[in-house]
């Protein structure tokens, strides 16, 4: 495994535990986005579908309901903690035809067994995206479909910047979003996405904006900013005094965005589709 891939595995080992903790909030926030992805790929009863970067399984479960008991929904993720939760939830829901695999989708040999591939925010972290999407194309039967959602730019998602700007005066270094590097905003440029898919052998590529204004409470907004966002690794190593300073600064910066107890967590994304 390359150094970048090893770093990514370590990152999701840490981040996965946080996502397990916040599973209910994340699923509620991103459910409309997951539904949009699954709608776009136009599933049919009995099909076999791969969910890349499946996390705790929400999109995989949406797929399972669409393809029915004669179909199969397979979730793949690099985080063991998230997969453990996904398997437990599938058992609790008694879903048929659902299973999960611990795999790096860039390199794992899935075999040409799937009718469709979906992903909710699971494809922006590949060290080599061309190789990854070529590998995923090989996992599809001829004519198989792909649909995924990825974030647009930080400028299109200003609320992602507010906590970082508020925390900056108290931190020796503030995390920066690197464009075109593995990470949340790796696919912010739609022409880069189109080029990657074309080079990986995909056709009929379509990219459209998708905006979701799912509201959250002030407490949930703070959780997303401090626990789920890029400040979390820094604050987890900080002393209580620094954590308190950052919490207060972030709370003051986010307060104007809350009206009648709720804030719009505007998620500005690209909805991407293609065929093998």
d(CA 159, CA 83): 29
Q: Does the structure show a pLDDT above 90 at 264?
A: no
Domain boundaries, the chain: 3-153+179-215+267-275
**Domain 3-153+179-215+267-275: which CATH class?**
alpha beta
Q: Does the structure show a pLDDT above 60 at 221?
A: yes
d(CA 142, CA 138): 9
The token duo for 80 is 């063991």
Residues 12-67 have pLDDT tens digits of 677 778 889 999 999 999 999 999 999 999 999 999 999 999 999 999 999 999 99
Please write down the HEC assignment for all residues of 62-126.
HHHHHHCCCCEEEEEECCHHHHHHHHHHHHHHCCCCEEEEECCCCCCCCCCCEEEEEEECCCCCC
Residues 100-133 have pLDDT tens digits of 999 999 999 999 999 999 999 999 999 999 999 9
pTM: 0.92
What pLDDT band is residue 9 in, cutting at 50, 70 and 90? low
Q: What is the pLDDT of residue 3?
A: 44
Q: Strand pairing partners for 211?
A: 268
């Amino acid at each position: 495994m390359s150094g970048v891939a090893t770093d990514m595995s370590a990152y999701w080992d840490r981040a996965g535990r946080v996502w397990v903790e916040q599973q209910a909030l994340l699923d509620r926030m991103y459910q409309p986005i997951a539904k949009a992805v699954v709608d776009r790929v136009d599933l049919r009863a009995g099909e076999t579908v791969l969910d890349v970067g499946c996390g705790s399984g929400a999109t995989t479960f949406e797929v399972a309901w669409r393809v029915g008991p004669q179909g199969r929904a397979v979730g793949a993720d690099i985080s063991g903690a998230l997969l453990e939760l996904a398997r437990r939830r599938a058992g609790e829901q008694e879903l048929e035809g659902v299973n999960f695999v611990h795999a790096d989708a860039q390199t794992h040999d899935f075999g040409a067994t799937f009718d469709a591939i979906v992903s909710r925010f699971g494809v922006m972290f590949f060290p080599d995206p061309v190789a990854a999407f070529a590998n995923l194309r090989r996992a599809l039967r001829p004519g198989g479909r792909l649909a995924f959602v990825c974030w647009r730019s930080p400028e299109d998602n200003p609320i992602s910047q507010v906590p970082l700007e508020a925390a900056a005066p108290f931190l020796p270094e503030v995390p920066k979003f690197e464009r075109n590097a593995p990470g949340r905003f790796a696919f912010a440029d739609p022409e880069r996405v189109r080029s990657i898919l074309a080079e990986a052998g995909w056709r009929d590529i379509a990219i459209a904006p998708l905006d979701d204004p799912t509201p959250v409470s002030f407490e949930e907004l703070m959780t997303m900013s401090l626990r789920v966002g890029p400040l979390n690794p820094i604050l987890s190593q900080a002393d209580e005094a620094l954590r308190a300073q950052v919490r207060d600064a972030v709370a003051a910066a986010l307060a104007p965005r809350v009206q009648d107890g709720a804030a719009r967590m505007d998620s500005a994304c690209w909805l991407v589709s293609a065929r093998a």
